[in-house]
Structure 1
């Protein structure tokens, strides 16, 4: 039964979108950019509320710059949808018809020598078309030029992430009662997807079920392997709820675990706790990775922890900031990211434990609160 509230605390308002566009322009200016070109994808939704019903070869681009009003360039046949979905005051909509040159229409809004940030999701044909239309322009990806644009969440965004985390927790509690032994990984993955939707997710992005030796592959997709008694099983699942992401991992054991599985699981549990405990405003992202990694290295498994400790989450399930060595970006209250250390023993089993946390004024608050001790399933 669905025990979570599928209704977000408050809808985003036209003032929210207007403030985000102003913030984007201000941050672009501070970064030395002359403007931003935002294509269909998470940034466009975050800035305007508009998500095109179909991503096609037809150019759609939001042009943001300090010297003119925000302007959304859309195909004429999609203008009614754009007008109905966008509510930001001051947003102009310019359309172009099939047979016209969309790049000339968008290029009229761009200065000839401009340096622009552009969505990572931009099609190459659109970027090349803009370069031809406005010679002398140069472009940087948004991840490269403004990696922290969406990193700090406001209260309404935090409420959505918290609700998504609670729905993922409810999914985990329910999956513990499902039979594992004798079933294929794909069958358990289907149960996870069904439960995520029952608890309010509109989109399921991944349902990793890594049993036995498959658990030693961090990105294993659920396969046709039959789960056996004695297997450690890595469960990693999430998606979007109210447009914001969930992502949690727990490792369970089918029947009584052998001592090695218990020992490795406890090391990972302590590493995950160390990573969460390291979260403080002003601390560099890499310190979260160092804290978790030190526990695993001290236990003799340093070479078996083969990925970063965490990634940001918001309107996508993977986004900046990243908890990885070399990332010196300081943590700021409102940032949200995963803390997910793991140990992977090739050909045998793996263990990963993951929570989403947000930075507060005094430390970290978890959005995932299910038990982290090793749970036994049938």
Structure 2
């Protein structure tokens, strides 16, 4: 029996909302290839996204149809709420095939069975695991179909979280707190960077006394020393040295739900300029969080940050946050709303964001971040971890 992470009614609600989007856009089907969207609609959870797989939703069919590799069909039976007739699998000779077979050939047959072969079919054109060849094979197999870009159709359905989703994100936040503390405690002069990464990973999987953790969609990011102006580096064999700033960005994960957290520490006595920058980042993030409430736009929240740091003659062009929650590698972001100038997405209760207004200069980087939920009256930060510059 599938593990009951969500009850069937929640999945039915998600599918119903997705069907409404299909009707709104005049689509006869949508082919969902993003593993997070597949999970959202069906519960499917397996490390099988390195081969082609999909979920098909049509306006008139009660259940989505899962399509994947034959050896992964039992994974669909183990993790989804779907009936047997909604689980379809292609043979292994479609994988890296020497016979010019492709999984999209099989998927095209499923679309024919669903009577949409000559309809308007939405595809997640910009999803990480939907390839150019997938598109061309569908075109070859379904010459009468009209394909439309539906990359973010399900993502926008996901943007408001249910209470159960929020519960898992809060649990992920407890794991994030433990992992961040483990990383900070492990960092000191002479310790190789990978030892700190090991401590973080141990805490991410160990979870809490009540529940364990899952693998995060993004590995712990840990630029240090001269490289803290480059936010997406990981770790090396290099020992930490006195005078090193170190940025840690990580996320606990619970049933694929994340709660990212970033902090900065310094090996030794931090220079006054870094302490000043930390104070500015904290002041800016608190101003931005204070601006959060239902009815305001993402750009209004960003403006509160930008006006705060401008008082110190600092400008930052990058976005300072994005909607997030459920995720698989390579990303925990939802790719919808961003906290940036020009984003007029109106905040609604139970949207969730990772706000990461780092400052990176030619000399040093400083990151402090919070994951927050939009409540009826403001922002609920999910983690409870000091907002400050740490020292080792």
| Both structures adopt the same fold (TM-score exceeding 0.5) | yes
Separation in structure 2 between the aligned mates of residue 12 and residue 138 of structure 1, nearest angstrom = 32
Alpha-carbon spacing, 1:33–1:297, altered in 2? closer, same or farther (3 Å): farther
Question: Which residue is 1:19 aligned to?
Answer: 13
Contact 1:31 1:146 in 2 (8 A): no
Matched, 1:83 2:77: yes
The root-mean-square deviation of aligned C-alpha atoms, in Å, is: 2.5
1:186-201 alignment to 2 at 5 Å?
186-199=194-207, 200-201=212-213
Q: 1:328: Cα distance to partner?
A: 1.0
1:87-126 to structure 2, matched below 5 A, reads 87-88=81-82, 92-97=86-91, 101-108=105-112, 109=114, 110-118=116-124, 120=127, 121-126=129-134
Is the contact between residue 249 and residue 263 of structure 2 (CA under 8 Å) also seen in structure 1? yes
1:323 offset after TM fit, Å?
1.3
1:67-117 CA-to-partner distances (Å, cap 9, x unmatched) read 334333445554443233322479733455568951442231225141424
**Partner Cα distance (2:272, 2:188) in 1:** 20
Q: In structure 1, how many angstroms separate the alpha carbons of the residues matched to 2:201 and 2:90?
A: 40
Is 1:335 paired with 2:335?
Answer: no
**What per-residue deviation string (whole Å, max 9, x for no partner) do you get for residues 107-152 of structure 1?**
3122514142436232333322222222241221422x45412111
Match of residue 140, structure 1, among 133, 137, 149? 149
- Post-superposition CA distance 1:345-378 (Å, at most 9, x none): 21x221111010000111110012111122222x
Structure 1 window deviating more from structure 2 (73-82 vs 290-299): it is 73-82
Number of aligned pairs? 364
Residue of structure 2 in register with 1:350 after alignment: 365
Q: Contact 2:298/2:343 (CA < 8 Å) preserved in 1? A: yes
1:297 aligns with 2:310: yes
Residue in 2 aligned with 1:254?
A: 267
Alpha-carbon distance in 1 for matches of 2:53, 2:388: 48
Q: Distance in 1 between matches of 2:310 and 2:26?
A: 41
Q: Which residue of 2 aligns with 1:234?
A: 247
Per the TM alignment, residue 158 of structure 1 is displaced from its structure 2 partner at its CA by 0.3
- Aligned-partner Cα distance in 1 for 2:215–2:12: 27
Structure-2 residue corresponding to 1:173: 181
Which of 65, 87, 90 is matched with 2:58 structurally?
65
Contact 1:63 1:71 in 2 (8 A): yes
1:266 to 267, 275, 279: 279
CA distance in 2, matches of 1:184, 1:137: 55
SS at match of 2:139: helix
Aligned to 2:160: 152
Gaps of 5+ in 1: 1-7
* In 1, Cα distance between equivalents of 2:311 and 2:25: 40
* TM-score between the two structures when normalised by the length of structure 1: 0.87
Q: Distance in 1 between matches of 2:237 and 2:71?
A: 44
Q: Distance in 2 between matches of 1:295 and 1:225?
A: 36
Partners of 1:188 and 1:374 in 2: CA distance: 17
Does the C-alpha gap of structure 1 residues 232 and 73 become closer, same or farther in structure 2, counting only changes over 3 Å? closer
Gaps of 5+ in 2: 94-100
1:7-38 deviation line (CA, Å, top 9, x unaligned): x9x73112221221111111232244333111
- 1:311 corresponds in structure 2 to 322
Contact residue 36 and residue 116 of structure 1 kept, 8 A: yes
Matched, 1:223 2:236: yes
Residue equivalent to 1:3: none
Distance 1:30 1:154 in 2: 23
